[in-house]
Amino acid sequence: MSDIRVEKPSQDQISDMQTEPTWEKGESTFDWEYDVREVCYLTDGDVTVHTPDGEQVRFGAGDLVTFPQGLQCTWEIHRPVRKHYRLG
């Protein structure tokens, strides 16, 4: 298990995350490794993250997602993504 956590955030969590930096990317597929823990709130998009052990985690607009430090994965962006993120 990769320990990727996907949840529906509370209104307080949404307000808190909206003060964080944003990142945007169009439809694409790319490899990624998390040097530190990341929490992100997606305002747009549809994504499937694939891990080396075969796990697939799908999430999109309105989801709060936590990626653990050290995770190696492949992002498959089905619809352009815009997210607020917090590292560490």
For residue 33, the model assigns a pLDDT of 97
The architecture in CATH of the region 5-87 reads Sandwich (2.60)
Residue 1's pLDDT band, with cuts at 50, 70 and 90, is: low
- Give the bridge partners for 75, in sequence order: 30, 49
In this structure, are residues 23 and 75 in contact, taking their beta carbons and an 8 Å threshold?
no
| Rounded Cα distance, 2 and 9, in Å | 20
| Domain definitions of the chain by residue range | 5-87
pLDDT tens-digit profile of 47-87?
999 999 999 999 999 999 999 999 999 999 999 999 999 99
pTM for this structure?
Answer: 0.94
